[in-house]
């Protein structure tokens, strides 16, 4: 039974603010405590995370879902909505389903990312990216898969995506769309200087090592799910592999990935 709900919203989106207020009032009527874990403290850990915004807001919510090992529901008030499928017009119906335990759980794979230089570890629902960031010149990244050389990329960056992330930045950079239940990772160069460098799909248990090439002085940054996490310098390495950790997405209605994909690509004019 749900006693506490964590509500995370895009505060710059007035529709999201209004919808979150509506959800808070509904949950309070059902004697469920609410708070925003981004801005408020609570003595009780939430039983569920609900996000109000687009896929970017859901990615923020995913960090708290991972932290507390709880399910995550996204109310779609953004422009894309591959992950945040629930319609705000049916908000009360969705909240009732959560309270009454009438929903399905869909698990999504995560990436485990580690930095030998700093000792930091991260998890990603969508992707990990080494990018030139605000620097004007291309970067050169040497990529290894299971200790074997995959290639040396002179590019704006390189993406390692989950199947969930295959419809995000990786797709924009020319990567394939991958069904989210597959156990794999997608390596996608960003604006590579060579046409020979194509996206590649590797098993989820593969060990990817990305090295900022040592032959020239360069700087870059590591981004996890769109958030800048670390500055990188010549010779720095980032290690990426799959993990047993999963994100649990709440589905009120049956999830039709291919139907959703057709609708979204049609909306984008692709």
* Contact between residue 26 and residue 92 where contact means Cβ atoms under 8 Å apart: yes
Domain range 4-103+252-268, its CATH number among 3.40.50.10330, 3.10.20.30, 3.90.550.10, 3.40.50.11540: 3.40.50.10330
Indicate the pLDDT class of residue 196, thresholds 50, 70 and 90: low
The rounded mean pLDDT for the chain is 92
Cα separation, 264 vs 270, in Å, equals: 9
Q: What's the pTM?
A: 0.92
* 158-186 pLDDT tens trace: 999 999 999 999 999 999 999 999 999 99
Between residues 71 and 216, the one the model is more confident about:
71
- Supply 119's token pair: 């000792």
Other CB atoms within 10 A of residue 96 CB: 14
Break the chain into its structural domains and give their ranges: 4-103+252-268, 110-244
Give the residue among 39, 52, 50 at the shortest CA–CA distance from 12.
52
- Structure confidence at residue 192 (pLDDT): 87
CATH architecture of structural domain 110-244: Sandwich (2.60)
pLDDT at 137 over 80: yes
Give the residue among 255, 248, 252 at the shortest CA–CA distance from 95.
252
Indicate the pLDDT class of residue 44, thresholds 50, 70 and 90: confident
β-sheet bridge partners, residue 220: 232
Catalytic residues: 55
* Contact between residue 164 and residue 108 where contact means Cβ atoms under 8 Å apart: yes
**Dmax (CA) of the chain:** 63
């Amino acid at each position: 039974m749900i006693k506490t709900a964590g509500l995370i919203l895009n505060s710059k989106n007035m529709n999201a603010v209004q919808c979150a207020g509506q959800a808070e009032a509904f949950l309070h009527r059902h004697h469920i405590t609410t708070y925003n874990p981004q801005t408020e403290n609570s003595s009780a850990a939430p039983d569920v995370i609900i996000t109000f915004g687009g896929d970017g807001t859901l990615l923020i919510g995913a960090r708290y879902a991972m932290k507390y090992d709880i399910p995550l529901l996204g109310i779609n008030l953004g422009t894309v909505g591959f992950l945040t499928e629930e319609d705000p017009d049916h908000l009360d119906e969705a909240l009732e389903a959560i309270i009454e335990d009438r929903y399905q759980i869909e698990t999504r794979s995560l990436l485990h990312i580690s930095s030998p230089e700093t000792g930091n570890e991260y998890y990603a629902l969508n992707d990990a990216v080494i990018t030139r960031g605000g620097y004007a010149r291309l970067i050169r990244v040497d990529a290894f898969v299971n200790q074997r050389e995959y290639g040396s990329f002179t590019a704006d960056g390189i993406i390692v995506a989950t199947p969930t992330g295959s419809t995000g930045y990786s797709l924009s950079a020319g990567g394939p769309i991958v069904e989210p239940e597959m156990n794999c990772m997608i390596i996608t160069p960003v604006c590579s200087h060579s046409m020979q460098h194509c996206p590649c799909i590797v098993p989820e248990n593969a060990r990817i090592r990305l090295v900022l090439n040592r032959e020239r002085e360069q700087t870059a940054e590591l981004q996890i799910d769109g958030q800048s996490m670390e500055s990188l310098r010549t010779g720095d390495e980032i290690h990426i592999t799959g993990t047993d950790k999963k994100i649990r997405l709440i589905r009120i209605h049956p999830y039709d990935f291919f139907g959703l994909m057709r609708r979204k690509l049609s909306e984008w004019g692709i």
